[in-house]
Amino acid sequence: MSVDPRLARSRPQQQQPTAVPPPPPPPPMGSLDSVSDSSLVVPDDQFKLKFCTICASNQNRSMEAHLQLALAHLPTISFGTGSLVRLPGPTVHQPNVYNFNSTTYRAIHSELASQNTQLYTANGLLNMLGRNLTIKGYPERFQDWVPGKPRLDHREDQGAAGTEAGVVDVMITCEERCFDAVLDDLHNKGGKLNHPVHVVNVDIRDNHEEALVGGRAILDLALSLNTAAAKEREVLGDGGWDRGAGAARQGFDEKVPDLIASWQERWPNLPALWSLAWL
Amino acid sequence: MNPSAQTPVGQLEAARSLALGDGRYYPTIIPGVMPIIGANADASIEIRRWGADFLAETFASPTWPPDVKVPCALSVLATIKEYLEGVADSGVLRSAVQAAASIYPLVYRHIIADPADTQHWQLMLAIKSNILRRMDSAPPGVRICCVKFVQQIVLVQTPGMPPDPRRPEHTDISLALVPRDHPMIPYANLEAESSGLLDRLLGIIHGDHRLDRLMARDEIPLTMYSDALLVTATLNSLGMLIQRRPAVITKILSSVMNFNPLKLANSPMTSKNKVLMKSIERTTRALLVNVMKRNPEGPFTGRIQQYLEKIHRMRIDVLDESNRKRPAPTETTDNLDAAKRQRLDAPVPIMAPAVQAVPALPPGPVSFRQLFTLNPDGNTANFDVQAFQDPEQLLRILVPVLQSIDETRLGSSINAVRSRYLTLSTAMPRPPVQAPAAVDDEEEYEPDFEPEDAEQVMNKLDGAPPDNFIPERISDAPLAPYRLPEAPLLTVEEAQNHGKMTIQRAFQMLSSIGEPNLKTKITKGGFNRLAASSFDRDSWITILSRLATRASAGLGDIDQGIKSEFEVKRGSLGLGESIRNQLYQYIMSDWRKRIDVAISWLNEEWYNDNVIAQSTKPTSKPVANGNGAVSVTDKGNYQRCALRLLDGMLTYIEGTDKVLVRFISEIPGLDMSILSRMKKMAEDPERIDLAIMVLQYLYMFRPPVRELAVDVLVDMWRTNDRAKNNAKKLLLRWRPEALQEDREEAFKTEKESANGALEVKAA
């Protein structure tokens, strides 16, 4: 029986990262390889931060990062900050434009495939959409997100485990425009949850290759943040922070700037920004 | 992990997911959960962490309404207090403070409505004071949550919009709800407290909060490790205060705009500090931009824009963004790219093929056309050059095409054809001699020139029908030497035109060299210099002026006499004249800057005139001095050109153009006709001073023309009323007798006019 990966979401048993079906569209082998290393998967009994990846259209960069974080078993959701989902069209002046939150990746995939299969195969769009529809149902707009609203209807999404409450600890944006948009919108949302969130920008150019590299960088960042957060809970434990000394006394939150700085040294081509904001 | 906790946590999780599924379950679930996580329960740290997280999540949840939350909030106060006082785990503390931040407005509202409920308010106050105590001492992760808690207090204890009775569910919890005579929470106290707390929040931005600790504990310098965390946490919590509490906008904004986000610039530029600095700056900007966006017409927009521009400039200064631009993308060294490209399973256009795919030749006999056609599918293969009737048009296309040819591709194409030819010539038996329809006997073939000549033949054959076969025995057929067709003789006019074009080109080049840097000290070569030892403007000027003066010297009719300017303008025929014309135009197009060109040209002219004069009239008296007022060659080119230049310049010259002094003083020969131009110039009252200055300069520094200059001055004094005063001052020193004569004369005339017909008395 031939297996269409686009149907993967409707078959929960196939959502294991090891069971990504063969093409067409081609499976994201590159991403799989990068996390097949067991050191890049966070064991489920360990403490986990909740992540959120954000780019302009919730298609390429945020979705690549979403996939890589989800494959590392980190709770992840993703958003776009644009007003509409914009994908390249036949010419620069004719982009394909879709609404957030209502147009599924599957619908976009089939529309583009019927429009011009060869073009959208050649520029990698169909491949990308094929990957996206195995991750979640539809692109979501950040500004429409209500933090704290349970996301039980997203249970099928990759990386959904842990994000049921609709709260995240770390947001990773993929370009400065999105970083600004996120900070701006968080002011508008008003911080009603009183929940601190680290917003980190990782500047990634919007193409498939850079998204892949950027996804790996984001995974690296997420893992180092998560390790620090988990360590805080181990080290401090019962008895409190004042028993420790020196670095051990340093909690997760104040370590974040250091972690980002050392991450920046590992990834000098992806300029970083950071801010502590409120959900 | 504590395994014994697994089961309770599992149960708790089940309860939580029920509530997540529907917020209406919270009121029933909380009483069930509290005994497990709550105060007095001897819960493990695991359970307590879960409990604190749950409380924070529960009271923040938007899925159930605030008025339902209130009774639940009252029921969990004791637990939160116990967490804060009894548990020293920062995870628990963080979540407890978060929960308290969500609960404080609820309890506050409850107390407003029920002033008698002292018990719960006391609990809340205990929680509040506990959290406020931690503001300065807790680990930063907890302190940021305290910041948010304080922000919540400021929010509800500052007057907001008056409540709207029609929409009670949307009522904004603020000081406006508190009656002035509330027994438990006096209005004035609340207001004072929130004002003080807001100051404390704003103090965090400015780093003041650490000063006392710093001094007391001699500890971490400002902005060393957690400031960025606290500062951004505070900035990001201020946005909603600005939105919802107009009463404190001014205070907050003026404080924020006094903040220097780049104060880290003084500390070492480690990568961490750079990231932090950028981040704080960006966070500040996001806050202010948000304020502007929400109220573009607001009274602060102008100030905010100024501030944003200021920190933008500072950031550029401090971080020098130009060096921080993303470097050119480097190819990743691992196999990532290849792996990625493979996934694209699509005919990706090959960007730079190392070896061009060359289609095999069709079997059987091949034409030259086929031999040389490497890309039979392309449009160029079917292109007939003969379609261009106009060779000019063809040239216009061909030259850019040739220029754009990629050398490596051309090389590989030549190699491809070469190998084709080799295999062809070895493998294919020559067809029997056929009448070489297109190859004439004259156009035979010489193997030494194989590639080029093959191409030539091909060019010829290309237009011919494609069934030409490779001619027999081309390899040893001799080729007649090729001669370029002889150019037709030029008419005089054409030759002159070409000469003019050449000169024009030389001047175009001159303008492309650009003006010399005025600062650089240039040593003058003089007449004996080598005309051009470098590729600069001076060299070209020297070459051109020598071409104009010396090249055709003596060739013309010596007795031709001086040419009138009219003749020059009409366009004289000689090479010299057209160069002179061009030089003239070149100088006049920017004469202020090119006065040195004019001077060196005129010097060349003068020199040449003298050389000619000496050679043609060896008997005439020799030229004594370059500054001599009397030139041997009155008819020479020098004077004509000098007058022409001077006249040209006089049109434009202004009273302030001292450059004229230089010009007049540096040109080699001066005579009455040149100096009388000064007199003429002085007719313009604005240029009198300049004219006098020229004459004075000549008087002082060129003694040979001193007499001449004074003559001109006297003349000016006599004829130009406006110049009289200036001229008089100089004449008093140089030639007082002239004044004397004149005075007598003037006196005489005065007398005459005064006395009319009366007889004149001698003075």
- Mean pLDDT throughout B25-42? 82
Q: Give pLDDT, residue B198.
A: 92
Cβ of A275 within 8 Å of Cβ of B232? The answer is yes
Give the CA distances from residue B717 to residues B686, B693, B702, B709, B713, in Å, rounded to whole numbers and listed in that order: 16, 14, 21, 12, 6
* pLDDT, chain B, mean: 75
Higher pLDDT, B345 or B389: B389
Alpha helices in B87-186 (DSSP H): 90-113, 118-134, 140-156
Cβ of B63 within 8 Å of Cβ of A260? The answer is no
Whether B50 shows a pLDDT value over 60: the answer reads yes
Whether A51 shows a pLDDT value over 90: the answer reads yes
Whether B696 shows a pLDDT value over 50: the answer reads yes
Q: Give pLDDT, residue B457.
A: 53
Q: Give pLDDT, residue B377.
A: 65
Asked if B636 contacts B613 with a C-beta cutoff of 8 angstroms, the reply is yes
Q: Give pLDDT, residue B298.
A: 81
A186: nearest CB among B56, B225, B236? B236
Give the CA distances from residue A169 to residues A72, A145, A198, A279, B408, in Å, rounded to whole numbers and listed in that order: 17, 15, 6, 9, 55
- Mean pLDDT throughout B587-615? 86
Phi, psi of B301 (to 5 degrees): -55, -45
A169, A172, A253, A264, best to mutate vs chain B, most B CBs in 10 Å: A253
Domain count, chain A: 1
Q: Give pLDDT, residue B591.
A: 85
B109-168 pLDDT, tens digit each: 899 888 888 899 999 999 999 999 888 778 888 889 999 999 999 999 988 877 666 666
Q: Give pLDDT, residue B58.
A: 92
CATH number (domain holding residue A58):
3.40.50.2300
Cβ of A196 within 8 Å of Cβ of B144? The answer is yes
Cα distance between residue B38 and residue A87, in whole Å: 52
**Residues of chain A positioned with their CB less than 8 A from the CB of B21:** 150, 152
Residue range(s) defining the domain that contains residue A65: 27-83+139-278
**Residues of chain B positioned with their CB less than 8 A from the CB of A160:** none
Q: Give pLDDT, residue B294.
A: 87
Q: Please indicate, yes or no, if residue A96 is contained in any of the structural domains.
A: no
What HEC string does A12-34 produce? HHHHCHHHCCCCCCCCCHHHHHH
Nearest Cα residue to B612 out of B673, B573, B556: B556
Cβ of B236 within 8 Å of Cβ of A277? The answer is yes
Residue type, B523: T
Taking only Cα atoms into account, the Rg of chain B, rounded to an integer number of angstroms, comes to 50
Most confident region among A111-115, B358-362, B379-383 by mean pLDDT: A111-115
Lowest-pLDDT range, A26-40, B126-140, B721-735?
A: A26-40
Asked if B430 contacts B472 with a C-beta cutoff of 8 angstroms, the reply is yes
* pLDDT, chain A, mean: 83
Residue B347, token pair as written in the block: 């005919």
* In chain A, beta strands by DSSP E: 51-55, 76-80, 85-87, 96-98, 170-173, 196-202, 272-278
pLDDT band at B404 (very low <50, low <70, confident <90, very high): confident
Nearest Cα residue to A54 out of A129, A140, A132: A140
Whether B365 shows a pLDDT value over 90: the answer reads no
Asked if B209 contacts B200 with a C-beta cutoff of 8 angstroms, the reply is yes
Q: Give pLDDT, residue A13.
A: 43
Domain ranges of chain B: 19-134, 135-161+194-324, 368-476, 492-754
B139: nearest CB among A180, A237, A241? A241
- Mean pLDDT throughout A119-126? 92
Scanning every residue of chain B, which has its alpha carbon at the shortest distance from the alpha carbon of A237?
Answer: B89
Assign B193 to helix, strand or coil: helix
Nearest Cα residue to A278 out of B142, B235, B27, B678: B235
In Å, how far is B240's CA from the nearest CA of chain A? Answer: 5
Residue B24, token pair as written in the block: 């209406």
Higher pLDDT, A137 or B530: A137
Residue type, B132: L
Q: Please indicate, yes or no, if residue A111 is contained in any of the structural domains.
A: no
pLDDT band at B686 (very low <50, low <70, confident <90, very high): confident
Higher pLDDT, B550 or B200: B200
Whether B357 shows a pLDDT value over 90: the answer reads no
Q: Give pLDDT, residue B556.
A: 55
Cβ of A193 within 8 Å of Cβ of B339? The answer is no
Whether A18 shows a pLDDT value over 80: the answer reads no
Q: Give pLDDT, residue B275.
A: 84
Lowest-pLDDT range, A74-88, B68-82, B86-100, B445-459?
A: B445-459
Q: Give pLDDT, residue B585.
A: 87
Cβ of B139 within 8 Å of Cβ of A149? The answer is no
B432-485 pLDDT, tens digit each: 554 444 444 444 444 444 444 555 555 555 555 444 455 555 555 566 778 888
Asked if B641 contacts B602 with a C-beta cutoff of 8 angstroms, the reply is yes
- Mean pLDDT throughout B592-615? 86
In Å, how far is A104's CA from the nearest CA of chain B? Answer: 22
B519-546 pLDDT, tens digit each: 444 555 566 666 666 777 778 888 888 8
Cα distance between residue B381 and residue B373, in whole Å: 7
**Residues of chain A positioned with their CB less than 8 A from the CB of B276:** 257, 261, 274
Residue type, B321: E
Cα distance between residue B380 and residue B462, in whole Å: 12
- Mean pLDDT throughout B197-220? 63
Residue type, A214: G
Asked if B31 contacts B21 with a C-beta cutoff of 8 angstroms, the reply is no
Higher pLDDT, B351 or B13: B13
A25 cis-preceded (ω within 30 degrees of 0): yes
Higher pLDDT, B513 or A158: A158
- Mean pLDDT throughout A62-85? 94
Taking only Cα atoms into account, the Rg of chain A, rounded to an integer number of angstroms, comes to 19
- Mean pLDDT throughout B717-729? 83
Cβ contacts from A onto B, under 8 A: 222
Cβ contacts of residue B88 below 8 Å, gap of 6+? Answer: A238, A239, A240, A241, A242
Scanning every residue of chain B, which has its alpha carbon at the shortest distance from the alpha carbon of A27?
Answer: B343
**Residues of chain B positioned with their CB less than 8 A from the CB of A238:** 44-45, 88-89
Assign B346 to helix, strand or coil: coil
Q: Give pLDDT, residue A49.
A: 93
Q: Please indicate, yes or no, if residue A13 is contained in any of the structural domains.
A: no
In DSSP terms, A196 is beta-bridged to A278
B232: nearest CB among A148, A239, A276? A276
Whether A72 shows a pLDDT value over 90: the answer reads yes
Lowest-pLDDT range, B399-403, B493-497, B632-636, B673-677?
A: B632-636
Q: Give pLDDT, residue B461.
A: 53
Cβ of A239 within 8 Å of Cβ of B236? The answer is no
Cα distance between residue A76 and residue A50, in whole Å: 6
Nearest Cα residue to A180 out of A263, A273, A254: A273
B282: nearest CB among A165, A186, A275? A275
- Mean pLDDT throughout B609-629? 61
Cα distance between residue B332 and residue A213, in whole Å: 9
B145, B172, B201, B236, best to mutate vs chain A, most A CBs in 10 Å: B236
Cα distance between residue A195 and residue B99, in whole Å: 9
B240: nearest CB among A24, A190, A240? A190
Nearest Cα residue to A143 out of A221, A84, A200: A84
Residue B382, token pair as written in the block: 């079917």
Assign A278 to helix, strand or coil: strand
Lowest-pLDDT range, A149-163, B625-639, B736-750?
A: B625-639
Higher pLDDT, B80 or B530: B80
pLDDT band at B695 (very low <50, low <70, confident <90, very high): confident
A236: nearest CB among B89, B102, B232? B89
Asked if B688 contacts B722 with a C-beta cutoff of 8 angstroms, the reply is yes
For B575-604, give one letter per residue: b (16+ CB within 10 A) or e: bbbbbbbbbbebbbeebeebbbbbbbbbbb
Whether B606 shows a pLDDT value over 60: the answer reads yes
Q: Give pLDDT, residue B730.
A: 84
pLDDT band at B756 (very low <50, low <70, confident <90, very high): very low
Asked if A173 contacts A82 with a C-beta cutoff of 8 angstroms, the reply is no
Q: Give pLDDT, residue A239.
A: 41
Lowest-pLDDT range, B100-114, B168-182, B423-437?
A: B423-437
- Residue length of chain B: 763
A141-156 pLDDT, tens digit each: 999 999 999 998 898 8
